[in-house]
Chain A
């Protein structure tokens, strides 16, 4: 079984709809991240969380919100989806390592299309 799972894997929705993307992990890591990937732009950090009570904005948090329901679960919401939020979304976990050798583990991604 995969260590980091994302649901759904694909979603098509309409402008103005509320969407939730879910992420679960079995790695036991405290740190979790949500990224967005657009062609030619690499991965951009949306939100990150270092434990259940810790939520931090990333580079592109406008239009998104998150919830850390448990150590293993971190969900991303789009309150009112718009077409330029069409992208590939990745959840990741990490464990701190010595000398900045943190290792990130990524889920398989959710492809979201907003019409």
Chain B
């Protein structure tokens, strides 16, 4: 089993604050994905990072893949209530996806 640990598990912040979510593993992955899941729905893909050190930006979200391709971070700038949800990272190897346990984010107005 290729484990992915996410931290923090829960995060409750005020609108306008910045935050970072971490996804760490001892395994090397071919790629790493971040998903967002809302209650009553399945996860939706936000981004895929492939190259060690790769940084991708999606509006106020910045994703980084570690140089060794074992870890990743998601940074949200000026969080908004619409960012509330469960954020999942998933590592990809040998045609399978391995999911982290998730970070539950609540952004209060």
A residues lining the B interface (CB < 8 Å): 4, 31, 33, 35, 40-45, 48, 50, 58-59, 90, 92, 97, 99-109
B residues lining the A interface (CB < 8 Å): 1, 4, 6, 9, 30-31, 33, 40-45, 48, 50, 88, 90, 92, 95-102
Known: A35-B99, A100-B50; 13 extra A-B contacts, CB below 8 A, are: A4-B42, A41-B101, A42-B88, A42-B101, A44-B99, A48-B96, A58-B96, A97-B48, A99-B30, A100-B31, A104-B97, A108-B42, A109-B41
Nearest-neighbour CB distance to chain B for A100, whole angstroms, equals 4
Contact A45 B96 (CB under 8 A): yes
Nearest-neighbour CB distance to chain A for B33, whole angstroms, equals 8
Nearest-neighbour CB distance to chain B for A98, whole angstroms, equals 9
Nearest-neighbour CB distance to chain B for A47, whole angstroms, equals 11
Contact B41 A101 (CB under 8 A): no
Of the A-B pairs whose beta carbons lie under 8 Å apart in the complex, a sample of 12, sorted by A's number, is A31-B95, A59-B1, A90-B42, A90-B43, A97-B48, A100-B30, A100-B92, A101-B50, A104-B43, A107-B42, A108-B41, A108-B42
